[in-house]
Structure 1
């Protein structure tokens, strides 16, 4: 397969919420950002992305991601004109089903919960999703991103999403462990995708915000 091009996919996690602070599973619950406590992390992300031009902008449709995107692009009217954000439910967090709103402390002795933990995402949460379910919707979204990047000549794409989404992307694209480190609030990864005629692969991945010495 002949290599056609490369695409930088920058995927960042939403800012701090009250449920993050309480260590509750959020999943598809529409929890807003915790302000003003979320502002320092959001500001660091905004500054890191201030000089970066994106050809397309995607965002989970949940409030905490919408608020994060608004803050990150608050001073960039030109960016919003160039790439109007598209809100997509496929970028939502893993659906934790019956576990949403609960904490590890309240669930740790539950047999079903322990089985889910031990399965490393292979089992679905009660009333929720498995890791394969999450990947099914993420991979469908990625295929559309790839196709549009090829047809429109896009080079860099931003997506505002969730910690579990970034973890699953790292697992599938980098071979990272399912229970590996989850990125912090208002942080993420920049994936360099090699786009080919019949597919794509991840050639590199780096942290976002990038270290002070790094360049885009």
Structure 2
């Protein structure tokens, strides 16, 4: 079991892409980072994670297999790639937006199916895409496996590099906020602290990553 029944999981979103700027649905399209535009945000995240790891390093790292996450991870590790075990995890991909991927709001806003999808808060799957329930199911399976591994290896600190929709869903369940209120910017995220209580892991608090300057 993780030492003292505590586990800190730092979950961050990938850096900036061209489709982020154009406000296009990326979903599971393998879109790379927009360089050099993404670098300032990645540098800020890298510096924050280095300060955090100076106290105690990450025991393991999980990353979506999409290139924008793998590029983000390579930048924030920069020279420390071999220090920690890396788990490349397709279940950490963004929601599959199906036929809407590559399109922006202005192209879709008048489509009845798109309006129905928005009004359902994603519970109704987009054409050829994934419902919010399907996203929750794959994240549930991944998170159960993560906790099992954390207990087996006595992990205390984990890093996860993923996508905006995944972080929204984690914030919804662990911070008890609305899915649409849980957005984070590119190269930013949240740190969740879990305590084991009565045989179950419970999120006791969360905070912004990178930490605000006033909190350092």
With the shorter chain as reference, the TM-score category is: over 0.9
Aligned-pair distance for 1:198? Answer: 4.2
Superposed CA deviations along residues 42-66 of structure 1, whole A, max 9, x for unmatched, are 0000000013110110100000000
TM-score (norm. length: structure 2): 0.93
Check whether the contact 1:170–1:176 (CA below 8 A) recurs between aligned residues.
yes
In the aligned structure 1, how far is the partner of 2:184 from the partner of 2:130? 21
Check whether the contact 2:169–2:182 (CA below 8 A) recurs between aligned residues.
no
Tell me whether 1:87 sits opposite 2:88 in the alignment. yes
Aligned-pair distance for 1:200? Answer: 1.7
Matched residues, number? 210
In the aligned structure 1, how far is the partner of 2:151 from the partner of 2:105? 43
Specify the alignment match of 1:184 in structure 2.
185
Specify the alignment match of 2:74 in structure 1.
70
Q: Please give the secondary structure, in 2, of the residue aligned with 1:179.
A: helix
Specify the alignment match of 1:175 in structure 2.
176
In the aligned structure 1, how far is the partner of 2:82 from the partner of 2:50? 15
How do residues 91-170 of structure 1 correspond to structure 2 at under 5 angstroms? 91-170=92-171
Specify the alignment match of 1:20 in structure 2.
20
TM-score (norm. length: structure 1): 0.93
Q: Please give the secondary structure, in 2, of the residue aligned with 1:140.
A: helix
Check whether the contact 1:121–1:178 (CA below 8 A) recurs between aligned residues.
no
In the aligned structure 2, how far is the partner of 1:35 from the partner of 1:153? 37
Aligned-pair distance for 1:157? Answer: 0.3
Q: Which runs of 5+ in 2 are unaligned?
A: none
Q: Which runs of 5+ in 1 are unaligned?
A: none
Specify the alignment match of 1:49 in structure 2.
49
Q: Greater share of helix residues, 1 or 2?
A: 2
Tell me whether 1:60 sits opposite 2:61 in the alignment. no
